[in-house]
Amino acid sequence: MYYVNQEQIGERLDLIPVLSGASERLCGEWREGRPDLLQALAQERLLHLALELVTDVGSLLIDGFLMRDASSYEDIVEILRTEGVFPEELFEPLQALVRLRKPLVQEYAGLERDSLYPLTRQLPGLLSAFGQSVRQFIAKELA
């Protein structure tokens, strides 16, 4: 019998509409060519929260379903793909999102802040699909 912390997973997945709404608003207000430092910093935090959500949920799934241990943040996404948690088409965008962790957390002083990251526009659909896939996976595995 597995112990899957569905409460913690649910808390994180419940943030998806909040992050999606913030992404949509940020994209709608973004002014290319006229960078706004506050918007650039908001974008960085939005991307950071999104990737932490994915890796936190992934870690909880890995622990709960006794999957192999992850060796890196990218490996979390790889394990989830291998275990069939989400469809194949989500793998590359989720990997790209998780790869932003090092620049956002460690290399923030040198980040380019003049343009909108392509993933920012993709976040609402990506996170929604990830959340639905996780919920379906849990329901199937615990049935």
Q: The domain spanning residue 79 has which CATH number?
A: 1.20.120.580
- Residue in 25, 68, 101, 135 annotated catalytic: 101
- Check residue 2 and give its pLDDT: 75
pLDDT at site 1: 58
Could you please report the per-residue DSSP string of 2-37? Answer: ----HHHHHHHHTTHHHHHHHHHHHHHH--TTS--H
Cβ–Cβ under 8 Å, residues 20 and 128: yes
In a domain, 1, yes or no: no
- Number of folded domains in the chain? 1
Whole-angstrom Cα distance, residue 13 to residue 9?
6
Whether 85 maps to a domain, the answer reads yes
pLDDT in tens, 69-110: 999 999 999 999 999 999 999 999 999 999 999 999 999 999
Q: Is 114 within a domain?
A: yes
Does 60 fall in a domain? yes
Q: Is residue 12 part of a domain?
A: yes
- Name the pTM for this structure: 0.95
Q: Is the dihedral of CA 39, 117, 54, 69 positive or negative?
A: negative
Q: Which residues contact 19 (CB under 8 A, 6 or more apart)?
A: 46, 49, 50, 53, 123, 127
Would you call 101 a catalytic residue per the annotation? yes
- The domain of 124 spans 6-142
The 10s digit of each residue's pLDDT in 7-41 is: 999 999 999 999 999 999 999 999 877 778 999 99
Q: How far apart are CA 143 and CA 137, in angstroms?
A: 10
